[in-house]
Structure 1
Amino acid sequence: MTGKRCLMLGTVLALLVTLGCAMAGSGKSDLELIQAKMAECVAAANSQNIDAVFSHFAEDFYCPQLGDKVDFRDFVDNAKDAGFLDGLKISTDDAVITIDGDTATVTPVDIQGSFGGGEGDFVAKKVNGIWMITEMDISGI
């Protein structure tokens, strides 16, 4: 796996971590729900719990750089098996969440690892009261 692909993987995981999948029903605002899930998803990614991370992807998820949800999952699984997720550092300290109706964007998410570093952003949509990640752009790597 090349350094660029590893960096892309790290960015992808960071993006997943940032939004997570804010659950409805708690009486909190969408922003509060998204922020609360950030910590949960960071923990899942840092512990390499890929199933937990991918539970926040919509079925129609797409990443222009890597493909659909299945292609993306294959890439992440292969990177994990090869040890490229070891030492991953995700920072959402500078990330801005912008909500417009049932669509949210999160940018930038900073990713650092043995493969280098970079930033990315993503889009989520609220489906049946649950925020799901629908798109990631990791061209900033």
Structure 2
Amino acid sequence: MDADMQDAGLPDEQVELAVEIFRMLADGTRIRLLWELRESECSVNQLAEAVGKPAPAVSQHLAKLRMARMVRTRREGNQVFYRVENDHVASLVRDAIHNAEHASDGIPAHHQSTGSTITAITGSGQRR
């Protein structure tokens, strides 16, 4: 890595793993899969139905996410269930979606459910 990265105090291995995580998040299907897995585990068939993709395609995406250590599996009989690896993965996806909501017009959906939180935080009706 270059001197700037070393000056930042980040080990090269961690930086490379972070880059790989962002590569995994650079795909709409994988974002949708991780969004579905934020709060509960699902089987491949459940995920395929939720994201509107064929099960074999979903399996391929899940295999990539598993190799990147973003999801883990649990086997029950002949069925495999997936879940996010940890809260950090769920937070990455949630934060990316919430940030994207701020780019659109109007009040982001994640602020609408909390009522007047925007006014309480900013002292006005402006988005942040």
TM-score, normalised relative to structure 1: 0.26
Find the structure with the greater CA-based Rg. Answer: 2
1 or 2 for the larger relative contact order (CA 8 Å, sep ≥6)? 1
TM-score normalized with structure 2 length: 0.27
